[in-house]
Amino acid sequence: MSHQQPEPNPETSVDDEWAAMERWLIESTGNMPTGAVLDVGPAGARVDDDGADVECAQIQALGADTYLIRLSTTVMSAPLLASFVVSRDVLDRWFHDDTFADCTHGFLMSRSRGRVAEIAVAWFRDRCGFAGPDDLGCSYEEPVRLPRSVARQSVVERQGYP
């Protein structure tokens, strides 16, 4: 997965640059394994500043080609989810009822990478007023795979049957 946005081209318009960011997000999220998290925010922002306002978007890959996007004006940690499976009745609905304590502007789950990318671009371009995507940076976190400490045994072996 590419962790860097496309390099700005002096011959392209700002609209073209935002469109390129949207395409990059669509491609990048398509390569994320379940549980991976992509954070996007201002380039050079210090995340260790307590209480600092930082406009950010966070995309997490869920199961069944579903993505969770959260928007906030404070730095978010990866959500602790009980499951990566989402029922169809909650897809593409905007939730803004304080489900996550650190998410001040809501979240949406969708199977449309294009919709997720559009939301992220609109957040930074229209709501936050960034001049262009070259003012943004990102971080990417792979899911942690824990090693198994005990080899699996069949039920027959565990119960002592011959």
Indicate the range of 56-60, 97-101, 114-118 predicted with least confidence. 97-101
What number is the average pLDDT over the span 91-104? 77
What pLDDT is recorded for position 145? 79
User: How many angstroms separate the Cα of 81 from the Cα of each of 13, 84, 100, 142?
Assistant: 39, 7, 10, 15
| CA nearest to 142, candidates 31, 40, 67, 44 | 31
Tokens 């979240």 map to which residue? 107
1 confidence band (pLDDT: 50, 70, 90): very low
118-159 pLDDT, tens per residue? Answer: 999 999 999 999 999 999 999 999 988 777 765 555 554 555
Length of the chain: 162
Q: 95 pLDDT exceeds 60?
A: yes
47-79 pLDDT, tens per residue? Answer: 665 666 889 999 999 999 999 999 998 888 887
What number is the average pLDDT over the span 93-103? 74
2-34 pLDDT, tens per residue? Answer: 455 556 556 679 999 999 999 999 999 999 999
**Beta partners for 22?**
none
CA angle in degrees (0–180, nearest 5) for 32-123-144: 25
105 confidence band (pLDDT: 50, 70, 90): confident
